[in-house]
């Protein structure tokens, strides 16, 4: 009788041990690293955006495994395997730099091709524009692989300064009901874009927007 009980005990113990890795695997989800400028994102020892706790920079588009989330979902506890070196790293990354879908290849903004001038273009209306406390936005085209025109004035009849692809960072300095006047931190250009293609974002610790310094 004792042998049967002992055998049953070890059988149950073995099932529990075998179930542990399966349970852990069930809680793991794969996601991909994404950034507004196509650069890698810092993996940190702690869920804090400090300059002194960076483990390694995970490249744009890399696949990572999510172990858990902390701080109300603002940070993810992840692992990432550097395939060329066959080395696995574990740490924390802000969830806003993670996406469930494989991100498209990063495209830097390209100068627009010369366009023929239209006859008698409509004069832009600046009357309703109001200055605002500058705030940061990223470009959100109607299609992930598309772009939005950055124009000299708030009118689709006006010339295009450049094309801005998804997640390109800009700063709003004035706006009306439909258009925003923006400054490009990378080039210093000032122009206009429809507000429907812009999403407001917030940087951390006062880091320069779009600089890649202490933001990731």
Instruction: Check pLDDT > 50 for residue 17.
Output: no
Residues 71 and 145 in one domain: no
Whether 87 is covered by a domain: the verdict is yes
Count CB neighbours of 142 within 10 A. 9
Let me know whether 37 and 92 are in one domain: yes
* CA atoms of 117 and 160, how far apart (whole Å): 11
Pairing, β 130-139 against β 198-200: antiparallel
Quick one: 131 and 70 in the same domain? no
Given a cut of 70, is residue 3 above it in pLDDT? no
Number of domains within the chain: 2
Asked if residue 83 and residue 132 are part of one domain, the reply reads no
Q: Which of 50-54, 82-86, 147-151, 208-212 tops mean pLDDT?
A: 147-151
Indicate if 65 and 144 belong to the same structural domain.
Answer: no
Has residue 16 been placed in a domain?
yes
The tens digit of pLDDT for each residue in 99-158 reads: 999 989 888 777 777 666 555 555 667 778 999 999 999 999 998 889 999 999 998 888
Least confident range from 122-126, 135-139, 198-202, 203-207: namely 203-207
Confidence (pLDDT) at 36: 87
On the question of pLDDT at 8 being above 70, the answer is no
Give a yes or no: residue 127 inside a domain. yes
Residue 142 within any structural domain of the chain: yes
Q: The tokens 């695997």 sit on which residue?
A: 25
3-state secondary structure the chain: CHHHHHHHHHHHHHHHHHHHHHHHHHCCEEEEECCCCCCCEEEECCCCCCCCCEEEEECCCCEEEEEEEECCCCEEEEEEEECCCCEEEEEEEEHHHEECCCCCCCCCCEECCCCCCCCCCCCCCCCCCEEEEEEEEEECCCCCCCEEEEECCCCCCCCEEEEEECCCEEEEEEECCCEEEEECCCCCCEEEEEHHHEEECCCCCCCCCCCCCCCC
For residue 19, give the CATH number of its domain: 2.30.30.40
Q: What is the pLDDT of residues 49-73, one digit of tens each?
A: 887 899 999 999 999 999 999 998 8
Shared domain for 90 and 17, answered yes or no, is yes
Residues 87 and 117 in one domain: no
In tens, the pLDDT along 159-195 reads 999 999 999 999 999 999 999 999 999 989 999 999 9
Q: Looking at the structure, do residues 80 and 31 belong to the same domain, yes or no? A: yes
Q: Are residue 87 and residue 127 in the same domain, yes or no?
A: no
Same domain for 55 and 94: yes
Per-residue pLDDT, 19: 45
Q: Is residue 214 part of a domain?
A: no
In a domain, 133, yes or no: yes
Structural domain includes residue 207: no
Q: Residue 91 CA to chain centroid, in angstroms?
A: 18
pLDDT averaged over every residue in the chain: 81
Q: What is the pTM of this model?
A: 0.42
Say whether both 195 and 124 belong to one domain: yes
Q: Domain containing 68: what range?
A: 2-99
């Amino acid at each position: 009788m004792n042998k049967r009980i002992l055998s049953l005990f070890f059988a149950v113990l073995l099932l529990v041990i075998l179930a542990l890795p399966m349970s852990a695997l069930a809680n793991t989800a794969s996601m991909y690293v994404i950034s507004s400028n196509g650069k890698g994102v810092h993996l940190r020892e702690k869920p804090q955006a400090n300059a002194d706790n960076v483990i390694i920079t995970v490249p744009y588009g890399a696949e990572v495994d999510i172990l858990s989330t902390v701080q109300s979902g603002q940070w993810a506890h992840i692992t990432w395997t550097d395939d060329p070196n066959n080395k696995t790293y574990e740490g924390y990354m802000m969830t806003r730099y993670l996406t469930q879908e494989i991100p498209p290849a990063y495209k830097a903004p390209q100068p627009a091709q010369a366009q023929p001038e239209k006859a008698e273009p409509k004069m832009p209306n600046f009357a309703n524009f109001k200055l605002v406390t500058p705030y940061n936005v990223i470009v959100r085209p109607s299609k992930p692989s598309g772009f939005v025109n950055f124009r000299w004035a708030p009118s689709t009849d006006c010339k295009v300064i450049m094309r801005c692809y998804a997640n390109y960072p800009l700063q709003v300095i004035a706006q009306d009901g439909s258009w925003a006047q923006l400054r490009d931190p990378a080039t210093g250009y000032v122009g206009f874009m429809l507000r429907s293609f812009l999403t407001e974002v917030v940087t951390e610790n006062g880091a320069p927007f779009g600089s890649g310094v202490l933001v990731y």
